[in-house]
């Protein structure tokens, strides 16, 4: 975690506030990360948060970046086991593409609170870029998708023509399903059903992108 300010009175507030925010968001979603609750959980005064964050939105974005890291980490672990498998590159490439989508969906189903919070990170209006240029220029989860699609091109399962703008159908389908399953009409369905539907969605969109 990029931490510049040296610990003074507390030790490292800012980090402690972000951790408390992650705890609250895990069960309560984005609405649960409130200035007063977070500072209360950290055993500190509400006003102290404003020494480290400009306002409530800045705190929210900081916690959201944390949950986005968790999402990216879960996706990487999901596909790491596949890359170790040294089978044919064609199958491997599409397996990685599927793994990216399924990792995204699995994380959303397993941690809906964190997932809903991570979505705030994709909103450019909210993610204030600190001064110059920064990491998080393109969100890590999205970068994993781009890499997987590029891998499909080099492996020959996707033509150069089929590659252009392929990110959006893929991300749309996977993200849309995660949203529907998490906050929409599929909410509360049993886990096996949701997992099966998730696989179905990924299979259909991969087929659609390849059919070109």
**Interface with DNA (CB under 7 A):** 5-6, 8-10, 13, 34-37, 44-52, 55-57
Smallest gap from Cβ 135 to its own copies, in A, equals: 15
State how far the Cα of 64 lies from the Cα of 78, in Å rounded to an integer: 21
Residue from 41, 82, 183, 195 touching its own copies (CB under 8 A): that is 183
Smallest gap from Cβ 63 to DNA, in A, equals: 12
State how far the Cα of 189 lies from the Cα of 202, in Å rounded to an integer: 18
Smallest gap from Cβ 24 to DNA, in A, equals: 10
192 is a contact residue toward its own copies (CB under 8 A): no
Task: Select from DNA, its own copies, none the partner in contact with residue 163, using the beta carbon and a kind-dependent cut-off of 5 to 8 Å.
Answer: none
Q: Which of residues 47-66 bind its own copies (CB under 8 A)?
A: none
Q: Which is nearer to DNA, 45 or 90 (CB)?
A: 45
6 is a contact residue toward its own copies (CB under 8 A): no
Residue from 2, 88, 185, 192 touching its own copies (CB under 8 A): that is 185
Question: Contact, 180 vs 112, CB < 8 A?
Answer: no
Q: Which is nearer to DNA, 41 or 153 (CB)?
A: 41
Smallest gap from Cβ 20 to DNA, in A, equals: 13
Smallest gap from Cβ 116 to DNA, in A, equals: 16
153 is a contact residue toward its own copies (CB under 8 A): no
Q: Which of residues 104-143 bind its own copies (CB under 8 A)?
A: 119, 122-125, 139, 142
3-state secondary structure the chain: CCCCCCCCCCCCCCHHHHHHHHHHHHHHCHHHCCHHHHHHHCCCCHHHHHHCCCCHHHHHHHHHHHHHHHHHHHHHHHHHHHHHCCCCHHHHHHHHHHHHHHHHHHHHHHCHHHHHHHHHHHCCCCCCCCCCCCCCCCCHHHHHHHHHHHHHHHHCCCCHHHHCCCHHHHHHHHHHHHHHHHHCCCCCCCHHHHHHHHHHHHHHHHHHHHCC
Which positions lie near its own copies, rule CB under 8 A?
A: 119, 122-125, 139, 142, 165-166, 168-169, 171-177, 179-180, 183-188, 197, 200-201, 203-209, 211-212
């Amino acid at each position: 975690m990029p931490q510049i300010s040296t610990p003074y009175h507390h030790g490292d507030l800012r980090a402690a506030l972000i951790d408390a925010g992650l705890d609250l968001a895990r069960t309560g979603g984005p609405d649960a990360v409130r200035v007063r609750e977070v500072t209360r959980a950290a055993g500190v005064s509400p006003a102290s948060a404003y020494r480290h964050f400009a306002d409530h939105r800045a705190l929210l974005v900081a916690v959201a970046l944390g949950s986005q890291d968790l999402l990216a980490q879960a996706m990487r672990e999901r596909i790491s086991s596949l890359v170790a498998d040294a089978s044919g590159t064609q199958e491997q490439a599409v397996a990685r593409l599927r793994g990216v989508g399924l990792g995204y969906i699995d994380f959303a189903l397993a941690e809906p609170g964190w997932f809903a919070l991570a979505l705030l990170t994709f909103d450019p209006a909210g993610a204030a870029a600190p001064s110059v240029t920064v990491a998080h220029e393109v969100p890590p989860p999205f970068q994993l998708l781009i890499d997987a699609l590029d891998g499909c091109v080099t492996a020959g399962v996707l033509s150069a023509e089929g590659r252009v703008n392929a990110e959006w159908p893929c991300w749309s389908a996977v993200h849309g399903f995660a949203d529907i399953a998490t906050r929409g009409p599929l909410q509360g369905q049993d886990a096996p059903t949701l997992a099966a539907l998730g696989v179905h969605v990924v299979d259909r969109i991969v087929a659609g992108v390849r059919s070109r």
